[in-house]
Chain A
Amino acid sequence: MVREKVGFIQRFLAGVGKRLLWWRAEKMDLYVLALMAHETVLKYKEILGGDLGAGVELLKKQFADSAKTYLRNFMDQLKLVVSKDLNDMEFMSEVALWSILGKRYKKFFIPSIYIAADDPINPYELPYFLGISPKCLMCAILDESERDEYKDKNYGEIITYALGSLIEIILEYVGYNYSVEVKETRCFLRGDAYSEIIYLLHEKEE
């Protein structure tokens, strides 16, 4: 049964668990991963008639879809630290990011915070989670000459779509019926000072 709110004991256990999960996990170099993603996009571009946008969209969709399958298994490791309280998403995403990227995850992702639909700062009519990336895993490997070509392709969304899948799976696990729409509202490549991603929650129709 899913708890209503994450308590002190779960937070303590998560503190130990996330370190253990990270320590035990098979790992690879982050730069090699970003390069592989970039080369995959370029290969898709070549096959899809030179259309970079189509290549980015294809990898984004593939990543989001496969993330749903793989991360469902990952939920077995996270189930002790989830709750129905959407304000706990910041804590839950922190544990998930720690388990995926290790203790320095904050260099790339600040855990998502919940903004209710009726919050005065909410410009949408839907609840959403707000995430910020101080550095972008995807853009960091692009050189100056490439950045202009990628700036209107939502390239950073490749990774955030997968995080959107993770949020959707957590919500599904705790009993909500939301689909998650990912929007990159600020982007380094478009000249913003940081990358900002919102995860809009749409009630799914029964």
Chain B
Amino acid sequence: MEKKYSPGTPEDLFGRKVRLLVAQMTYPELVNFLTQHRGGKDAEQDLRDVGANTCKGLLKVWKPKSRGVISLIKELVKVIWNGKMGYKMLERTSDKRPLLVEFIDKDCKLCKSEEEVLKVEGLHYCAAVSGFIEELLNYMVKQGTMKLPYKTAQVETVSSIGSGDNKCSHVCMFSY
């Protein structure tokens, strides 16, 4: 059998779907390995790195259309796994700009992969998501395409269903 040599390109994969089950098979293994070898706090940073670098790769192919922070995050979760994410404004600056925004996911696809709650000090199970969001927000503002004129965004996962909380929350702090 002779076929044209073609291992494929990112464009061959982007936009195609696969069962979420495949990712849900491996994410718990990653979290368990990291907690065993690195401890809770470092494991959390490792998960954030995996999320951020995955987002970097995604942005080589994906061109987000949204220019607002909330709509951008909604577009992101829609692209990754057709998910939804709510938000809550926690704090504004004196000139009414958003300072702290909480992104809330009550149906986290990563946390669904774990059947049992994994409680490890310093670790939020779906911390990879905060790495993803932070990378996206900082990339987009560097492109000069965001309506909100922030300089940087710092995102931290503060609660996670997979770690025993009732919702997943990723808090974003903007600096101007």
The complex places the Cα of A22 from the Cα of B132 at a distance, in Å, of 27
Residue among A35, A65, A162 with max Cβ neighbours from chain B (10 Å): A35
Nearest CB in chain B: distance from A100 CB, A: 5
Does A13 interact with chain B (Cβ within 8 Å)? Answer: no
A4 part of interface (Cβ distance < 8 Å): no
Known: A25-B21, A100-B18. A32 touches B3 (CB 8 A): no
B144: Cβ under 8 A from any A Cβ: no
Contact residues in B for A74 (Cβ distance below 8 Å): 21
* B80 interface residue per 8 A CB criterion: yes
A26 touching B7 by the CB < 8 A rule? no
Given the complex, which residues of A lie within 8 Å of B22, measured CB to CB? 33, 100, 162
Interface residues on B, range: 35 or more
Q: Is the CB–CB distance between B46 and A188 below 8 Å?
A: no
If A39-B53, A59-B26, A141-B13 touch, whether A29 touches B8 (CB-CB below 8 Å) is no
Given known A25-B21, A102-B17, A188-B7, contact A62–B79 (CB-CB < 8 A): no
Does B89 sit at the interface, judged by CB under 8 A?
no
Once A66-B28, A134-B3, A193-B4 are accepted as A-B contacts, the answer to whether A29 and B19 lie under 8 Å apart by CB is no
In the complex formed, the residue of A with least CB distance to B80 is A32
Q: With A and B bound together, what is the CA distance between A59 and B21 in angstroms? A: 16
Which residues does chain B contribute within 8 Å of A29, judged by CB atoms?
13-18, 79-81
Binds B, one of A40-48, A86-94, A119-127, A173-181: A40-48
**Distance in Å: Cβ of A72 to nearest Cβ of chain B:** 12
Q: Which residues of B contact A32 (CB under 8 A)?
A: 54, 58, 79-81
Q: Are B18 and A135 in contact (CB under 8 A)?
A: no
Report the bound CA distance from A43 to B43 in whole Å. 11
- The answer to whether A39 touches B19 (Cβ under 8 A) is no
Residues of B within 8 A of A43 (CB): 30, 34, 46, 49-50
Say whether A70 contacts B25, CB under 8 Å.
Answer: yes
Question: Is there a chain B Cβ closer than 8 Å to A36's Cβ?
Answer: yes
Tell me if A40 and B30 are in contact (CB < 8 A): yes
Residues of B within 8 A of A (CB): 1-10, 12-30, 33-34, 37-38, 46, 49-50, 53-54, 57-58, 61, 79-82, 109
Residue pairs across A and B with Cβ atoms less than 8 A apart, 30 shown, are: A25-B19, A27-B17, A27-B20, A28-B81, A29-B13, A30-B14, A30-B17, A31-B10, A31-B14, A31-B16, A32-B54, A32-B58, A32-B80, A32-B81, A35-B53, A36-B54, A39-B53, A40-B26, A43-B34, A43-B46, A59-B26, A62-B29, A66-B25, A66-B26, A66-B28, A74-B21, A102-B18, A134-B6, A142-B7, A194-B5
